[in-house]
Amino acid sequence: MLPIIVWQHLTVMFCFKLNGRIISILDSFCYIIFMQESWRNFLQTQHAVIENDHVIHFGGLMAELKHAQTGTILVDLSHYGLLEVSGADAQKFLQGQLSCDVSAVNINQAQYGSYCTPKGRVLVNFTVLKKNSDWLLQCPVDLCTPIQKRLSMFVLRSKVEIKDCSEQWVRMGVAGEQAGMLVEQVIAPTKSDLDESLALSVVHSAHTSIVRYTPDRFEFITSVEDAQKLWRILSEYARPTGAASWRRREIHEGIPVISAATQEQFLPQMINLDLIGGVSFKKGCYPGQEIVARTQYLGKLKRRMYLAKIATHEVVAEGDEVFCTEMQDQSCGTIVNVAPSPAGGYDVLAVIQQSSVTTGGFYWKKPKGPELIIGTLPYSLL
């Protein structure tokens, strides 16, 4: 059990103000940039090894991956960014742009969704949250700027503002056997608001939002000024690890993340978004909706996303091709996401030809290359 003083610390930090001073737009910008640099410096004092603003590990990648199998982990999620969509027409605008039913999202319920090209190919997929009257779209941080610009092209006369607020918030995650207990202790006064029967339930305090992905995986989206205090509290009970431990959890849960390497390669159903609530077939139009719906109702989906393991010492990358015995020299799939396995090699999500799954014989990067061993996802593909 966490001591009562934990919540007292959090209550104080959630009420933090900038000494009562009114900040100008320029001051605010400089403050955010400074504090994010401060956050990176803080992580380095915690022994984080950081490359390209991503935490690689806190001293030993393989040891962290092994710990994550049975222990509780704490992960910096700066590899994710946030787009904020606000204004009187924000919900209507997003409903006409994203594949999910945005009207089903509320302050206590998030949802997966995607943004597609007119041909139905996924440009990016999100976790969609609502905070107060604003909407937050979480996706890989390097896609935030291009997606913000593309969405802004369609605002026209709508009362909608889209901005990249990645620098305004710090993202961190806890996962593992003790994660649920840890989060319950942290949010004790509002515990009942975090619906334990639902995936993607959300609870908010003044400066922190907590997303429940599964019973043992949670994300904190917290203000920059509160992040260091929160990290210190959580790290007393969870081991800090690099981003690979979190990615591996997402992979085994069958949650895809489209990156720059895989944009415009898949329909939403190919990456199983329809199976995790990321596609609505009852809402109105959105870019690519006609093709997505036709594929669904005519049963023409030939490829699905599968969990697999690849035993290799070479580096496996998102966007790599997959081959199979049945199709010989012709590619039959693509690597969507990848994370190193504590047993060696890599765990991956791969979109592959469904008709070939029963016959087997899948290979990475070239015919007769390292074999993909198909695993089992936590949801049915039927």
361 contacts 327 by C-beta, under 8 angstroms: no
Residue 355 inside a domain? The answer is yes
Residue 296 inside a domain? The answer is no
Q: CA-to-CA distance for 128 and 10, rounded, in angstroms?
A: 25
- Interacting residues of 82 by C-beta distance below 8 A, sequence separation 6+: 136, 137, 138, 144, 164, 165, 166, 168, 169, 171, 221
Q: Which domain-ending residue is among 193, 222, 252? A: 252
Q: Are 240 and 306 in a shared domain?
A: no
Residue 244 inside a domain? The answer is yes
Q: What is the mean pLDDT of residues 239-252?
A: 98
Residue 327 inside a domain? The answer is yes
Residue 40 inside a domain? The answer is yes
Q: What is the mean pLDDT of residues 37-43?
A: 90
Total domain count for the chain?
2
Q: Give the percent of the chain with pLDDT over 90.
A: 77
Q: Are 216 and 348 in a shared domain?
A: no
Least confident of 151-160, 183-192, 249-258: 183-192
For helices 243-252 and 61-70, the axis angle rounded to 10 degrees is: 40
Q: Are 354 and 225 in a shared domain?
A: no
Q: Which domain-ending residue is among 190, 221, 252? A: 252
Q: How is residue 54 written in tokens?
A: 């991503």
Q: Are 240 and 362 in a shared domain?
A: no
Q: What's the pLDDT at 207?
A: 85
Q: Are 228 and 355 in a shared domain?
A: no
Give the residue, 184 or 200, on which the prediction is more confident. Answer: 200
Q: What is the mean pLDDT of residues 102-122?
A: 97
Residue 86 inside a domain? The answer is no
Q: Tell me, what amino acid is at 72?
A: T
Residue 12 inside a domain? The answer is yes
Handedness of CA 251, 252, 256, 262 (dihedral sign): positive
Give me the torsion for CA of 61, 166, 108, 11, rounded to 10°. 80
Give the residue, 8 or 165, on which the prediction is more confident. Answer: 165
For the entire predicted model, the pTM comes to: 0.89
259 contacts 79 by C-beta, under 8 angstroms: no
State yes or no: pLDDT of 194 exceeds 80: no
Give the residue, 213 or 329, on which the prediction is more confident. Answer: 213
CB atoms within 10 A of CB 349: 28
Q: What share of the chain is helix, strand, coil (3-state, %, to 5)?
A: 30, 30, 40
Q: Are 182 and 35 in a shared domain?
A: yes
State yes or no: pLDDT of 305 exceeds 70: yes
Give the chain's length. Answer: 382
CA separation (Å) from 265 to 108, 122, 189, 336?
A: 32, 7, 45, 10
Domain boundaries, position 320: 302-375
Tell me, what CATH number does 348's domain have?
Answer: 2.40.30.110
State yes or no: pLDDT of 67 exceeds 60: yes
Residue 103 inside a domain? The answer is no
